[in-house]
Amino acid sequence: MKHTIQALVENRFGVLARISGLFSARGFNIISLAVGETEDPSVSRMTLLVDAKDERILDQIKKQLNKLIDVITVVDLTGKDFFDRELMLFKVNFTKENKKDIDKLAKEFGAKILETKDSYAVIEICSDQHTALNFLKEIKPFGIKELVRTGRIAIIK
């Protein structure tokens, strides 16, 4: 099961290596990870989307993260009310024939067409992950040439 976990960490070099090293050493599965400075420049916030096959593993992920000296707090957002966002940029095949359909889909999902070239369009979607993934599913049949994702970030309401 997927869980969104947030960790407040010291904003120091090497912290990301400690966390990614922990996940690989212990065989935990990480789907996405987004890091950035917070309102306090000495602290960074990491939002991790992890896949834990059972409670025991989830529990271990949280405990092992907490055990790292540079980790200040760990919160599992599962069951909490939060906003989540993911930004995706992608290039999709773009022709006269599919222009109308792509425009319509973009409008429906609140995506932005940033630029159109002869053979492709660059599209941006920034939404909750569920919506973004649905949009991706709809747009896929047109032919995606390149996809860039930030991974999930979230904030508790």
Partner 1 sequence: MTGAEIFVQSLIKENVEVMFGYPGGVVLPIFDKLYDAKIRFILTRHEQAAAHAADGYARVTGKTGVCLATSGPGATNLITGIATAYMDSIPMVAFTGQVKTTLIGNDAFQEADVTGITRPITKHNYLVKDVKHLACIIKEAFHIASTGRPGPVLIDLPVDVQNAEHDFVYPETCRIRSYNPTYFGHPGQIKKAVKLIAKSKRPIIYAGGGIIISGANNELKELSEKINAPVTTTLMGLGGFDQRNNLSLGMLGMHGTAYANYAIMESDLIIAVGARFDDRVTGRIDAFAPHAKIIHIDIDPSSISKNVKVDVPIVGDAKNILSELNKLVNPCESKDWLKQVFDWKEKHPLSYKNDDKIRPQFVLEKIYELTKGDAIITTEVGQNQMWAAQWYKYSLPRTFISSGGLGTMGYGFPAAIGAQIGRPDKLVFDIAGDGSIQMNIQELATAVNNRLPVKIAILNNGYLGMVRQWQQLFYHRRYSQTKLINPDFVKLAESYGAVGIRVSKKEEVAAAIKKAISIDNTVLIDFIVEPEENVFPMVPAGEAINRMMGGMA
Residues that bind partner 1 (CB under 8 A): 9-10, 14, 17-18, 21-22, 25, 56, 59-60, 63-64, 66-67, 69-72
- Judged by beta carbon, residue 59 or residue 108, the one nearer partner 1 is 59
- Judged by beta carbon, residue 33 or residue 71, the one nearer partner 1 is 71
CB of 63 to partner 1, least distance (A): 4
- Judged by beta carbon, residue 67 or residue 104, the one nearer partner 1 is 67
CA distances 7 to 1, 16, 72, 79, Å, are 19, 11, 7, 17
The type of residue at 42 is S
CB of 64 to partner 1, least distance (A): 5
CB of 14 to partner 1, least distance (A): 7
CB of 29 to partner 1, least distance (A): 17
Only one residue has tokens 């000495």, namely 42
CB of 7 to partner 1, least distance (A): 10
Counting beta carbons within 10 angstroms of the beta carbon of residue 129, is it exposed (0 to 12), middle (13 to 18) or buried (19 or more)?
A: buried
- Judged by beta carbon, residue 14 or residue 141, the one nearer partner 1 is 14
Q: CA quadruple 73, 78, 83, 89: dihedral positive or negative?
A: positive
Helix (H) or strand (E) segment spanning residue 135: helix 129-139
- Judged by beta carbon, residue 40 or residue 108, the one nearer partner 1 is 40
